[in-house]
Structure 1
Amino acid sequence: MLHYRTIEISPTAPWVTFIHGAGGSLSVWFKQIREFRKEHNVLLIDLRGHGKSERDQWKKGDTFADVSKEVIEVLDEIGVEKTHIIGMSLGTIVAQTIADNYPERVKSLILGGAIIRFDIRTKILLWAGRTMKRFVPYMLLYRLFAYIIMPLKEHEESRLAFVNEAKKMCQKEFIKWMSLTSLINPYLTRLQASTNAIPTLFLMGDEDYLFIPPIEEVVRRNEGFEFIKIEKSGHVCNIDQPDLFNRFSIDYISKIEQRKSVIPAG
């Protein structure tokens, strides 16, 4: 089972599950815990091969569906029937996959630094990574990706946080996660259609230049999706601007909880 940490304040408090991105761990949410634990039960998870979760869990043909099933196993272990899910970067794909395969378990999605489509620049970057992944040290590739995705001076803290966490991975795990991106665009397009009934908030740094345009497009097509740009923030907006990220996320969760607590008359 995946390594996880829980903070439970009350049996009646809503659960919020945090899912980090590739190369991260549950520790990347350190700027969220203090605020969220005031009114929410918190579940923090290390995805397979990350943090303190076991390595070498991959089987031939494993997909994001297999990764998402492992998160559900943690929810089952601690007895959580429904949860709000907050994902970051590649973790947003895991979050959307959970919503697709287990919609009855998801109250809402909050997708930070969301990845819903790769443009030509990102495709080239990932193609280069997949081509070189077996003979170039993964940390060299990861540092390159981090600088391309988070290039500005104000992104330095988040960039260093993810680089330092990625050092805990190994080349084999990096290769497996990189391989998942090979056919991602058609898969993500289907996810947007299949999860549009679940309340979804996209939180994007206004300097997240690679990933904002597809978000703007999908939000225009789906009335149930909401989108907030966080100023002076890059891809990892939960670290760049934690106060704003926390406020927008908590406000959204409160709105969903209030909506669900209203019992229709009659």
Structure 2
Amino acid sequence: MLHYKTHVIAEDAPWVVFVHGAGGSSSIWFLQIKEFVKHFNVLLVDLRGHGRSKQITTSKEERRYNFEVVTRDVIEVLDALQIQRAHFIGISLGTILIRNLSELAPERVQSMIMGGAIIRLNVRAKVLVAIGNFFKSLVPYMWLYTFFAWIIMPKARHRKSRVMFVNEAKKVAQKEFMRWFTLTYELNPLLKYFEEKDTGIPTLYLMGEEDYMFLPAVEYIVSHHTNSYLQVISNSGHVCNIDQPHEFNSRAIDFLRNISARSLPQNVEAVPQLVAI
């Protein structure tokens, strides 16, 4: 089972589950915990091969991971803790796992908050994936990860989040990194399916205005899916929970408290004004 940590404030308090991205760990949420535990029970998980989660494999899984396998790891933790329903917050690739969880077990998902959401791969992202697949066996994986971090988070104010993710990635074994990289082969058909299917689950997208690779696709999807909302955070890049933690926390908590009260937030527009980046 995945390594996890809980913060319980009350038995009847709603649960919030944090899911990090590839190469990270639950430690990337350190700027969120203090605020969220004022209102919610919190569950943090380390995905397989990340943080303090030991490698979880069977003979078949050892050869290649897929999104269903790594998503069911999270469901296994929910089952162990007897958490029947929760709010889910993800960043980057973690948003794909949450969206996949909403397909595998929709009854477990009360709402979703997608930070730096990956909805569609633009041309630049597809080129990065192709470069990674070509060079992954030829160069040290940290060279690739550092290169990707610079492309996705290029500005000086992204340095904190960029350095943190690179440092976390150094803790992931190269073989484990390669297994996770195989997930890129599933991305395009899976993301296309997610774009075409509207879950109707209340979903807030929190995106940095400088997340130039992924923000345009999110702007499109919130105009086509019901119960989907977008808030754009100024002076922030892809990892907006680290770049602008106060804004991320306040917007996410307001959304969740309104969902928990069975009402939609009044300060979130269903079709947002586009932001020039």
Partners in 2 of 1:219 and 1:35 — Cα distance? 27
Counterpart Cα distance in 2 of 1:62 and 1:156 = 30
1:234 has 2:237 as partner = yes
Tell me, yes or no, if structure 1 residue 160 matches structure 2 residue 163.
Answer: yes
Q: CA deviation at 1:194?
A: 3.6
Cα-to-partner distance string for 1:171-198 (whole Å, 9 max, x where unaligned): 1111111110123122112123445211
When the two structures are aligned, how many residues end up with a matched partner? 261
Q: Aligned residue for 1:30?
A: 30
Which residue number in structure 1 is paired with residue 251 of structure 2? 248
Question: Does the 8 Å contact 2:98/2:112 carry over to 1?
Answer: yes
Match of residue 47 from structure 1: 47
For 2:115, give the aligned amino acid. Answer: G
Contact (CA 8 Å) 1:196, 1:225: kept in 2 or not?
no
Deviation of the 1:63 alpha carbon: 1.2
Amino acid at match of 1:89: S
Is residue 96–residue 195 contact of structure 1 (8 Å, CA) maintained in 2? no
* Aligned-partner Cα distance in 2 for 1:3–1:232: 33
TM-score when normalising by structure 1:
0.95
Q: Output the amino acid matched with 1:92.
A: T
Aligned to 2:7: 7
The answer to whether the aligner puts 1:120 opposite 2:151 as a matched pair is: no
**Are the aligned partners of 2:198 and 2:225 in contact in 1 as well (CA < 8 Å)?**
no
1:103 is aligned to 2:102:
no
The residue that corresponds to 1:211 in the other structure is: 214
Give the share of equivalent positions with the same residue, in percent. Answer: 51
Q: Which residue of 162, 171, 176 maps to 1:173?
A: 176
| Structure 1 residue 61 displacement after superposition | 5.0
Letter in 2 for 1:154: R
Work out whether 1:222 is the aligned partner of 2:246. no
Distance 1:45 1:194 in 2: 27
Q: What displacement does 1:253 show?
A: 0.5
Q: Structure 1 157/61 Cα, relative in aligned 2: closer, same or farther at 3 Å?
A: closer
Deviations 1:126-151 (A, max 9, x none): 11101111121111111000000000
Unaligned regions of 5+ residues in structure 1, if any? 261-266
After superposition, give the CA deviation of every residue in 1:96-127 in whole Å (9 maximum; x if it has no partner): 00011100000000000000110111001011
- After superposition, the C-alpha distances for 1:192-240 in whole angstroms (9 at most, x for unaligned) are 3445211111000000000011111111111311001000000000000
Matched to 1:54, the amino acid is: K
Q: Is the 8 A contact 1:150 1:235 kept in 2?
A: yes
Distance in 2 separating the partners of 1:169 and 1:61: 16
1:93 to 1:47, Cα distance in 2 relative to 1, 3 A: same
SS of the residue corresponding to residue 184 of structure 2 reads coil
Structure 1 segments, 4+ long, off by >4 Å, are none
The letter of the residue matching 2:169 is: A
Amino acid at match of 1:114: A
Instruction: Give the alignment's TM-score, normalised by structure 2.
Output: 0.91
Query: What secondary structure sits across from 1:93 in the alignment?
Result: helix
Cα displacement (A) at 1:38:
0.5
Question: Residue type of the partner of 1:144?
Answer: F
Q: Distance in 1 between matches of 2:196 and 2:124?
A: 24
What's 1:83 paired with?
86
1:82-107 per-residue CA deviation (whole Å, 9 max, x = no partner) reads: 01000000000001000111000000
Whether the 8 Å contact between 2:200 and 2:226 is mirrored in structure 1 is: no
The alignment status of 1:20 with 2:23, answered yes or no, reads: no
RMSD of the alignment, in Å?
1.4
* Aligned match for 1:143, one of 141, 146, 154: 146
Alignment partner of 1:21: what SS? coil
Amino acid aligned to 2:226: E
> Deviation of residue 52 (structure 1)?
0.6
Query: Which amino acid counterpart does residue 67 of structure 1 have in structure 2?
Result: V
Q: Secondary structure of 1:197's partner? A: coil
Contact 2:7 2:41 in 1 (8 A): yes
